[in-house]
Amino acid sequence: MNIWQMIHQRIPENLMSNLNNKLLPKLPETFQAKVTERLPGELYIIKKGTTSISAKITDEVTVGNDYVFRRNAKADGIVLTIEKTEHLKANTHSSLMSNKTGESGMTLSTTQRLERFIEESSVKISNNELQELVKNIEKQKGVQKELALELTKFLVIRQAQAPLSIPNNVNILLSGFLTDKTMATIVEEVKVLLPPQEASRPEINKLRELLEGLTRQTPLSSKQETVLFLKNLITNLGLNYEKGLAQSLIPPSALQLEQLKPLLLQLAHVASNIEDRANISQLVSKLTGFQLLSREEGSFQHFFLPIPVQLEQESKEWYAQITSKKKKSEMVDPEYCRIVLYIDLPIFSSTIIDLFVQQKVITMGFHHSYPPLERLLEASIPMLKNTLLEKGYTLSTVKITAEERESKEEMSLHFFQKILNRKEEGVDIRI
């Protein structure tokens, strides 16, 4: 049972309607929203922009679909009927296309899609700023174009007060995540540029130490070592550098001796040729991308981490998005957290693992393109369930979403859709 279901069981429906009217923003007579969850009776959770709303829907709807709703102004609480169906499903292959088909059968342009999102999100952006964002997206092709749109939407919400910085930040994110080079490869190329240790200044030795920390392979076999590695990785990457700089009383020149990003920028100023500066710039772009995707939202903190691993004598780069309630003593609250992993395995290829913990109840999701995986998971679930019970956790549901012949770029898009708060449906394996 989730929190919404508990609330609706404990609070009478008429009182819940009054609470909705007082606490939620005023809705227009007609509006578009996505149905994200079904509650008991005719109650649903719908999402309009970044706002989730509990509403009564009198027509038949499907979770995961978009609808244009009409609100019954005379009814108590939020009572909706369907005006029309948008037929946009998050987990269909058509979500990878650069243009979507609307209710009229005509394709929506990038401008129309972005305008619709901005309107739903209640963000104010001038027409010139909008056209600059569209121009930036249109530079990309195929899946990269769709990814650029997703990242633009994320940055529109996060940087609504500074829309002029969004196109540049989208370029930074794309150059950081769509390059064929792993971070470990780029780090090794930058390390070659450093002078010998015995002849180095203190800041160069500090830079060498931080770079070596980034290329150290993740100790996957030991829980304690893995947790320590992740904590050190957050520090080494300097994910909170800008925030710490703004809040600190230490002069920026002193902080430059301790943080990776300013040390790299300092090295770029003295780099001898264009190729060297390009390698440094590419690493800085990756770090900036990690910083942009690592953020605080209310009582939650999000960390986006690259995880270097060595499999079958080949260096791989996995990604992890960790979301947790803020705790002073620990990085992750073990009773309420979400971890989304993007892993690249020799046999399974690219796979997304989505783990959500709420009050020690665990829901797991797998997004993959390896047909035998579902059978393997079914065979492993009893052992996993018993192991978690021994540790005080309950495995509630395992969801599987399978795609046929999905490319690595398409899987990467699904990963970013997940960590940017997109929901997907899959096959439920009941426990």
Of 151, 177, 203, the domain-final residue: 177
Distance CA 120, CA 114 (A): 10
pLDDT at 160: 64
256 and 223 fall within a common domain: yes
Domain of residue 120: give its range: 95-100+110-177
Tokens standing for residue 104: 């009229």
pLDDT at 105: 40
Tokens standing for residue 35: 């149905």
SS3 state at 406:
coil
In contact, 333 and 324? CB cutoff 8 Å: yes
In contact, 284 and 231? CB cutoff 8 Å: no
Q: State pLDDT tens for residues 109-139.
A: 888 888 888 888 777 888 888 888 888 888 8
The fraction of the chain above a pLDDT of 90, given in percent, is 6
* Count of Cβ atoms closer than 10 Å to residue 105 Cβ: 6
pLDDT at 355: 92
Tell which residue, 414, 326, 408, has the closest CA to residue 366: 414
Distance CA 156, CA 213 (A): 33
Distance CA 380, CA 353 (A): 15
Q: How many domains does the chain have?
A: 4
* Mean per-residue pLDDT, 406-427: 72
Q: Is residue 279 part of a domain?
A: yes
Asked which of 161-165, 225-229, 383-387 is least confident by mean pLDDT, the reply is: 161-165
pLDDT at 329: 57
Average model confidence (pLDDT) for the chain? 75
347 and 426 fall within a common domain: yes
Question: Given phi > 0 = left and psi -120 to 50 = alpha, else beta, which region is 87?
Answer: left
pLDDT at 385: 92
Q: Is residue 266 part of a domain?
A: yes
SS3 state at 192:
coil
- Pairing verdict, β 361-368 and 51-57: unpaired
Q: Which amino acid is at 135?
A: K
Distance CA 230, CA 40 (A): 40
Distance CA 173, CA 322 (A): 18
Tokens standing for residue 47: 């999402």
pLDDT at 389: 93
In this prediction, residue 237 has a pLDDT band, given cuts at 50, 70 and 90, of confident
- Pairing verdict, β 43-48 and 51-57: antiparallel
Q: State pLDDT tens for residues 8-27.
A: 444 444 444 443 444 444 67
Q: DSSP letter string over 291-360?
A: HHH-EEETTEEEEEEEEEEEETTEEEEEEEEEEEE--SS-SS-TTEEEEEEEEEETTTEEEEEEEEEETT
pLDDT at 400: 85
Q: Please check the confidence at residue 143 and state whether its pLDDT lies above 80.
A: yes
pLDDT at 50: 63
Q: Please check the confidence at residue 175 and state whether its pLDDT lies above 60.
A: yes
Distance CA 126, CA 250 (A): 38
Which one is predicted more confidently, 281 or 409?
Answer: 281
* Count of Cβ atoms closer than 10 Å to residue 237 Cβ: 25
pLDDT at 41: 66
- Give 163's contacts (C-beta < 8 A, 6+ positions apart): 125, 126, 129, 133, 156
Q: Which amino acid is at 240?
A: N
416 and 341 fall within a common domain: yes
* Mean per-residue pLDDT, 251-264: 63
115 and 200 fall within a common domain: no
133 and 198 fall within a common domain: no
Q: What is the CATH number of the domain that holds 48?
A: 2.40.50.140
